[in-house]
Amino acid sequence: MSTGADDRVLELDGVETYYGTIRALSGISLDVHKGEIVTLLGANGAGKTTTLRSINGLNRPRHGSIRFQGEDITSLRAHEIVKKGISQSPEGRKLFSRMTVVENLEMGAFQRTDRAAIREDMDRVYGLFPRLAERKLQKAGTMSGGEQQMCAIGRALMARPKLLMLDEPSMGLAPIFVDRIFETVVEINKQGTPILLVEQNALMALDVASRGYVLETGRVVLEGRASDLKTNEQVRKTYLGES
């Protein structure tokens, strides 16, 4: 796996994002390279979700820049960023609960017109998540939390992303679903999609990630290879529950 500058899919440089007068991000710099899973670790309120919202256009940074595949996307609108190739499975899943699984998946491809390729991607999602194929005519709101998470990730994949962002994919799930979700995250990455992962389960995140960044109060306080972060004393005490 190369991590040269030419390999960068995503690059944040000195990003500062505000909610009104409150500064939520204080100069975040990070990057994601081709072939990588990169994880953002941090306590609640550290700025992880705001980082994703800054990238996807929902919270436009006041300072700094965001580049995607070499292009400055800092001031683009959210739908334009999706079109460029960044797709997200949001925290809390946010499915259309009264719509069926297949209708939710189709919503992920709403900006696309390549019908044959959309069918291919639908088949790909069913291959990754066979349970969704079994439940494709079921209303999303009636499924279990794990099944809904599969649907949310599947919907994000239907945009055929060049970068997939996952916000807390294991939140509220039974352990068996957590394992399955992370196995699939690894498989999606192996199929060629770089992933930016926000995840409270730090040990699970570092097990699948290539590299990681630790955020505290809107700043990057630590970064490195996932294997190094797993053995870092500060990370072990704060995020892996060791004394």
Q: What domains sit in the chain, N to C, each tagged with a CATH number?
A: 1-85+194-243 (3.40.50.300)
Helices 145-157 and 175-190, packing angle to 10 deg: 10
Task: Dump pLDDT digits (tens) for 57-87.
Answer: 999 999 999 999 999 999 999 999 999 999 9
Task: Dump pLDDT digits (tens) for 120-173.
Answer: 999 999 999 999 999 999 999 999 988 999 999 999 999 999 999 999 999 888
Percent of the chain at pLDDT exceeding 90 = 78
- Rounded to 10 degrees, the C-alpha dihedral 236/238/242/243 comes to 120
DSSP 1-45: ----GGGEEEEEEEEEEEETTEEEEEEEEEEEETT-EEEEE--TT
- DSSP E strands in the chain: the ranges are 8-19, 22-33, 37-41, 63-68, 71-72, 86-89, 163-167, 195-198, 211-216, 219-225
